Amino acid sequence: MDEMELSIAARWRKAFDLSPHGLAGFGLSALIVLVASAAAFPFREMTEPENLTMVYVLAVVFVALRLGLAPAILASVVSVGAFNFLFTPPYYSFSALNSASYITFGIMLVASLLAAVLTSGLSARLAEAAVAQNQTRLLLDLSRDLSRARSFEEVEAALTRLLEPRYGASLRLEAGHDLPLAPQWTGKRWLQPLLAQERALAVLALDFADVQRASGAEQLELETVATLAAGALSRIIEADHASHAVAEQETERLRNVLLSSLSHDLRTPLTVLSGTVASLLRMRRRLPREAVDEVVELQQQITRLQKFTGNLLKMAAISAGQLKLNAEPYALTEILGAALQRMADIRERRQLRTAISGEIPMVVVDGALIEQVFSNLIENAISHTRENGVILISLERAAGKVRASVSDDGPGLSPGDEDVVFERFRTGTAGLSDRKGPGSHGLGLAICRGIVEAHGGRIDARNNPDGKGACFSFTLPLPKEGEDA
């Protein structure tokens, strides 16, 4: 476990250590040579000196194994000196009797240097292998923990658990905007971005006790860690999106079911009510006069209720953002024509006039919805005018769009009402409150705005320039060249 306690940088620094502790290594290596000399000394007279060189090579190997290359080189040189001094005649002198001894010294030096280099290389590789194994272990543990992580916090916890003891730094995972895209120091803090598709998902921040230099190996390791964590994070983000989408679909399905069953449950009794009242009215001749008046009043209220129910359901659909446009090319005149046809019953006692200026190009719209905009605006105008009031509907072409306006000769809008009339459940304060017709429940105009804006158009209200009555107008964008039909 000592590998866990030493950082990789410390491990690398140890190999080339020239600190007082490192210098002790050189002293120690000299001491080991001295011990080897003492061990060999009793055998000086029993055997040929060449046989004793092995004791020194053994010492050098030991030094190389335990203390590293530099002390081992020193040990080699000291060994040759000691061997010469102690074991070759003449004793206690650095000179030699015959030239064969010099060959022995040479071979001994080469052999012990070779042993030193090979041994220290071996031990360095062993150390490297330990580091690599340790790193592989770390990355394995990390990827296992990350694959189990289901949230940002769990990713952070996995990183903290494995990296804090390894680096001796406190770790935080930070998300947000303007994250750095390259690893960097800020003060005593190392920032390692977690990148996915060249975007930083989060930043791994390591707070060290003091400023350090990260070695290449450490940087590489942190980069690998960051890649693993980024993979885990983007998987979590995607899963999050997917479950959101599923939830949204489910909500929309529920909303649809709710709306259509509401629609059915509200409309069926209304249909039966209005049908029953209609058949009652067919036998009006057999009913007392007062009863006929009551039935007529009943019929008016049912019509109101039907209108209101229709608007409420349409508004619910618009608010739920589920207005699906079934867009097709139309001449606006035919849609207006259809709206006027359908209003034949209620337009009585108002004068409806139309003004078409020039050629009106085709628009690509949802015909049924735009018909409803016309109907609602005309109904609104009817409810704000007196008998024989004039309602003028005009169509004209403007730059890149078509404008439709419905203006009346009623009391007009109070100052400040221009914007609020399109809000839900608002009616113009200057409305003829005692003459409210079926359209004056404050939803009709909000529906108009919802529909027009869904088509990319705009709707506004103002008073006529001559100060008589209000004018509601909306625009619809014309299809761009080449994309019509």
Residue 346 sits in the site that holds another protein (CB under 8 A) = no
CA-based angle 269:270:271, to the nearest 5?
A: 90
Question: Which among 15-23, 34-42, 234-242, 258-266 is the span making contact with another protein, rule CB under 8 A?
Answer: 258-266
Classified as helix, coil or strand, 436 is coil
- Other beta carbons less than 10 A from residue 71's beta carbon: 25
Q: How far is the CB of 335 from another protein (least distance, A)?
A: 5
Q: Quote the DSSP letter at residue 154.
A: H
The answer to whether the bond into 288 is cis (omega within 30° of 0) is: no
Q: How far is the CB of 480 from another protein (least distance, A)?
A: 14
* CA distances (Å), origin 41, targets 28, 62, 89, 403: 20, 19, 13, 116
Q: In terms of C-beta density within 10 A (0-12 exposed, 13-18 middle, 19 or more buried), how is residue 52 classed?
A: buried
Q: Which residues contact 428 (CB under 8 A, 6 or more apart)?
A: 384, 413, 414, 417, 421, 470
Q: Please select the residue that binds another protein; options are 330, 422, 472, 474, rule is CB under 8 A.
A: 330
The region, left, alpha or beta by phi > 0 then psi within -120 to 50, assigned to residue 221 is: alpha
b/e sequence 194-212, b meaning 16+ C-beta within 10 Å: bbeeeebbbbbbbebeeeb
Q: How far is the CB of 239 from another protein (least distance, A)?
A: 34
Interhelix angle 49-67/69-87, nearest 10 degrees: 160
Query: Looking at beta carbons only, is 314 or 350 nearer to another protein?
Result: 314
Residue 319 sits in the site that holds another protein (CB under 8 A) = no
Query: Looking at beta carbons only, is 24 or 283 nearer to another protein?
Result: 283
Q: How far is the CB of 471 from another protein (least distance, A)?
A: 19
Query: Looking at beta carbons only, is 9 or 364 nearer to another protein?
Result: 364
Question: Which among 73-81, 182-190, 307-315, 461-469 is the span making contact with another protein, rule CB under 8 A?
Answer: 307-315
Q: How far is the CB of 245 from another protein (least distance, A)?
A: 24
Looking only at residues 262 through 291 of this chain, which bind another protein when binding is defined by CB under 8 A? 263-264, 267-272, 274-276, 278-279, 282
Query: Looking at beta carbons only, is 170 or 274 nearer to another protein?
Result: 274
On whether the CB atoms of residues 482 and 417 are closer than 8 A, the answer is: no
Closest by CA to 332, choosing from 481, 469, 463, 457, is 457
Rounded CA gap, 174 and 203, in Å? 5
Q: How far is the CB of 264 from another protein (least distance, A)?
A: 5
Q: How far is the CB of 243 from another protein (least distance, A)?
A: 30
On whether the CB atoms of residues 177 and 208 are closer than 8 A, the answer is: no
Q: How far is the CB of 150 from another protein (least distance, A)?
A: 40
Number of residues that bind another protein (CB under 8 A): 43
**Which string of x and - marks every residue 358-377 that binds another protein (by CB under 8 A)?**
----x---xxxxxx------
Q: Please select the residue that binds another protein; options are 184, 219, 260, 433, rule is CB under 8 A.
A: 260
Query: Looking at beta carbons only, is 203 or 369 nearer to another protein?
Result: 369
Rounded CA gap, 194 and 183, in Å? 9
Query: Looking at beta carbons only, is 78 or 302 nearer to another protein?
Result: 302
- H-helix segments, 193-215: none
b/e sequence 259-276, b meaning 16+ C-beta within 10 Å: beeebeebeeebeebeee
Query: Looking at beta carbons only, is 281 or 430 nearer to another protein?
Result: 281
Q: Please select the residue that binds another protein; options are 95, 99, 186, 341, rule is CB under 8 A.
A: 341
Query: Looking at beta carbons only, is 70 or 365 nearer to another protein?
Result: 365
Q: Which residues bind another protein (CB under 8 A)?
A: 260, 263-264, 267-272, 274-276, 278-279, 282, 306, 310, 313-314, 326, 328-331, 333-338, 340-341, 354, 356, 362, 366-371, 484-485
